[in-house]
């Protein structure tokens, strides 16, 4: 695969013109740049399903309205073909694009600002080898007053700190590599950190879980109850590499992140990420008392679970990996936000298909079979059985998910 990519990159350089074709030493930079695009999961946002790579993505539904990821191919009219490398680096570091256009932080420049100059340079060189695609994208589709980009000047003053990642001398090289990837190119905070009213990361809650387009990106700190505290480093690596481990299976946006990005990362980088995440402080409000088994919702939920869920997940919630995840002790099940759980019950779920685990497990939709009350009851039961402990789910929450 490496040889094939080198040949493709060299061919692209030849097509780009004599000045680039005469610089075969750029092949290593382009290969490194391709890896930076993998780390940053550029394709997830900038490539629409079935469309040309990086020619513009599907709309992102933000709390302020839709934004469409733009064309970042080297097309001169509709992409970044007229940009210089300096323009690109300025955009990645400050959120100010070509001709001074300010970008919305849905493009995670607050994370990319931490990337090194070398990594940004390599990424730029790789993007020059992508097929140019003429595809006009109207990125800003926000309603007034959010469509006024000048407002981003104030947003940046309040919420953005420019600056490259600085290693912590008291930590290991591996820990610092993990921190660099998570905070920078991986931009994990974009999804996994809760947001304030302005859409910026909440101070002091780094990676403790955030809502995203009808899903909840879970707590990935070292919390024992809702985070990765009980996971081993090897289990974290397995999850990122394959989309599954002996505890759970990736779904929703995380499935896409695994398929497009983390499954293609090096083992060394995945190990570094795991080491870093395990050290992050979790929430102080750990598990409370579970809902009583005599509660009416628990009794009703147990009946729903027995008839609809136990065949796959087991009467004891132990599951049957690699196809059916355990629900007992499952951190995702016990998150404070239940968006992901209700979404999966109503819409079903498809696991990740990766090189190491090409068979993607799936779960059917139960929207046709279960009422809002039944969904709320069964989730309350699951969240408070087999050692789990979490707040009950209300039928209004289930109804909101169904309607969306």
Domain-ending residue, one of 134, 159, 184:
159
Per-residue pLDDT of the chain (404 residues; tens, 9 = 90+): 444 444 444 444 444 444 444 455 678 999 999 999 999 999 999 999 889 999 998 888 888 888 889 999 999 999 999 999 999 999 999 999 888 888 888 899 999 999 999 999 999 999 999 999 999 988 787 777 777 777 888 888 988 999 999 999 999 999 999 999 999 999 999 999 999 988 899 989 999 999 888 889 999 999 988 899 999 999 999 999 999 998 889 988 999 999 999 999 999 999 999 999 999 998 766 667 899 999 999 999 999 999 999 999 999 999 988 889 999 989 889 998 999 999 999 999 988 888 888 878 889 999 999 999 999 999 999 999 999 999 999 999 999 999 88
Q: Do 143 and 180 lie in a common domain?
A: no
Give the chain's domain count.
3
Picking from 278, 310, 338, the residue at the C-terminal end of a domain is: 278
> What is the reported pLDDT for 50?
87
How many alpha carbons lie under 13 Å from residue 372 in its C-beta half-sphere? 10
Specify if 333 maps to a domain: yes
Same domain, 387 and 308: yes
If asked whether residues 154 and 183 sit together in one domain, one would say no
- Could you tell me if residue 329 is left (phi over 0), alpha (psi between -120 and 50 degrees) or otherwise beta? left
Within a domain: residue 165? no
Domain extent for 364: 296-403
If asked whether residues 254 and 188 sit together in one domain, one would say yes
- Residue 173's alpha-carbon distances to 155, 169, 275, in angstroms, are 34, 9, 11
Does 291 reside within a domain? no
**Is there a single domain that holds both residue 117 and residue 10?**
yes
Residue 21 confidence (pLDDT) = 41
| Domain co-membership, 139 together with 27 | yes
| 8 Å CB contact between 219 and 283 | yes
Cβ neighbours for 302, distance < 8 A, ≥ 6 positions apart: 381, 385
> Is 307 part of a structural domain of the chain?
yes
155 Cβ contact partners less than 8 Å away, ≥ 6 residues apart:
105, 198, 200
Per-residue pLDDT at 393: 96
- pLDDT (0 to 100) of residue 265: 97
Token pair of 217 as six digits = 């990106």
Q: What is this structure's pTM?
A: 0.89
Of the candidates 268, 272, 261, which has an alpha carbon nearest to the alpha carbon of residue 354? 261
**Structural domain includes residue 120:** yes
Q: How many whole angstroms separate alpha carbon 295 and alpha carbon 302?
A: 11
Question: What is the CB neighbour count within 10 angstroms for residue 225?
Answer: 20
Q: Are residues 214 and 301 in the same domain?
A: no
Residue 359's CATH number: 1.10.760.10
Neighbours of 294 (CB within 10 A): 7
Bridge partners of 216, per DSSP, are 211
In a domain, 283, yes or no: no
Residue 129 falls inside a structural domain:
yes
Domain end among 111, 126, 159: 159
Q: Answer whether residue 290 is part of any domain.
A: no
> Do 10 and 85 belong together in one domain?
yes
Same domain, 134 and 216: no
182 with 265, same domain: the answer is: yes
* Residues 274, 315 share a domain: no
Q: Cα(308)–Cα(50) distance, rounded to whole angstroms?
A: 35
Rounded to whole angstroms, the Cα distance separating 313 from 326 reads 6
Task: Determine the pLDDT at residue 168.
Answer: 97
CB 328 within 8 A of CB 246: no
Q: Could you give the angle at the alpha carbon of 98 between the alpha carbons of 95 and 104, nearest 5°?
A: 30
- Region of 314 (left: φ > 0; alpha: ψ -120 to 50; beta: rest) is left
| pLDDT at 12 (0 to 100) | 46
Q: What CATH number is given to the structural domain containing 273?
A: 1.10.760
Say if residue 67 is in the same domain as residue 17: yes
């Amino acid at each position: 695969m490496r040889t094939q990519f080198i040949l493709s990159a060299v061919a692209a350089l030849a097509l780009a013109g004599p000045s680039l074709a005469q610089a075969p030493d750029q092949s290593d930079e382009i290969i490194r740049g391709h890896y930076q695009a993998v780390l940053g999961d550029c394709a997830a946002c900038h490539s629409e399903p079935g469309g040309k790579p990086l020619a513009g993505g599907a709309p992102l539904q933000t709390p302020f309205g839709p934004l469409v990821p733009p064309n970042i191919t080297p097309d001169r009219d509709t992409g970044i073909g007229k940009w210089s490398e300096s323009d690109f680096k300025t955009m990645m570091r400050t959120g100010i694009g070509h001709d001074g256009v300010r970008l919305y932080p849905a493009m995670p420049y607050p994370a990319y600002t931490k990337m090194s100059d070398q990594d940004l340079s390599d990424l730029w060189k790789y993007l020059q080898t992508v097929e140019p695609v003429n595809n006009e994208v109207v990125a800003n589709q926000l309603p007034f007053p959010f469509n006024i980009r000048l407002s981003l000047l104030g947003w940046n003053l309040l919420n953005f700190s420019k600056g490259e990642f600085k290693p912590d001398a008291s930590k290991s090289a591996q820990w610092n590599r993990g921190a660099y990837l998570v905070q920078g190119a991986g931009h994990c905070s974009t999804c996994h950190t809760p947001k304030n009213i302005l859409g910026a990361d909440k101070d002091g809650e780094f990676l403790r879980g955030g809502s995203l387009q009808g899903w909840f990106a879970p707590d990935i700190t070292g919390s024992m109850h809702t985070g990765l505290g009980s996971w081993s480093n090897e289990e974290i690596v397995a999850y990122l590499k394959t989309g599954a481990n002996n505890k759970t299976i990736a779904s929703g946006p995380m499935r896409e992140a695994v398929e497009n990005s983390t499954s293609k990362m090096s083992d060394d980088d995945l190990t570094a990420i795991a080491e870093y995440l395990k050290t992050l402080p979790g929430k102080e409000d750990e598990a409370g008392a579970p809902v009583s088994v005599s509660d009416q919702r628990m009794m009703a939920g147990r009946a729903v679970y027995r008839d609809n869920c136990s065949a796959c997940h087991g009467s004891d919630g132990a599951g049957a990996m690699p196809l059916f995840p355990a629900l007992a002790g499952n951190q995702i099940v016990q998150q404070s936000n239940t968006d992901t759980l209700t979404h999966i019950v109503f819409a079903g779920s498809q696991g990740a298909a990766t090189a190491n685990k090409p068979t993607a497990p799936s779960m059917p939709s139960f929207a046709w079979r279960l009422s809002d009350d039944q969904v709320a009851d069964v989730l309350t039961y699951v969240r408070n059985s087999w050692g789990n402990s979490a707040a009950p789910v209300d039928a209004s929450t289930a109804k909101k998910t169904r309607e969306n």
